[in-house]
Amino acid sequence: MPKAYLLSRTLDPLLGIFTGLLAFHLNETNPRTAPPPGHTLRELAAWKWEESRRQREGRDKEDAVEWEKITKEFVGGEGQGGGEVKR
């Protein structure tokens, strides 16, 4: 049984994408179905992006502090032992 297409093999996916985008736009802008202010997809995505950026910066600062500690320990250890590994 051959596959059945509505328009054509390439136009069907494009029609599906267009229909989905149009439905999303109408849902976001229609006064009856629109989400309350601050809860649109664009605002929620911007909020999540900022939150993840802050978390990344916090982790980077912690990593920098750890790296400084390790570097100081390494540089301080070289002067004491002459760079040799003691067993």
Quote the tokens at residue 78. 């070289």
- Mean pLDDT, to the nearest integer, of 45-74? 90
**Domain range summary for the chain, segments of one domain joined by +:** 1-34, 37-78
Cα–Cα dist 32/11, whole Å: 32
Name the pLDDT band for 47 (thresholds 50, 70, 90).
Answer: very high
Instruction: Tell me: pLDDT of 86 over 70.
Output: no
Per-residue pLDDT tens over the stretch 6-42: 888 899 999 999 999 999 999 999 989 888 888 888 8
Is the model more confident about 80 or about 64? 64
Q: Output the pLDDT for position 75.
A: 86
Centre a 10 Å sphere on the Cβ of residue 32 and count the other Cβ atoms it contains. 5
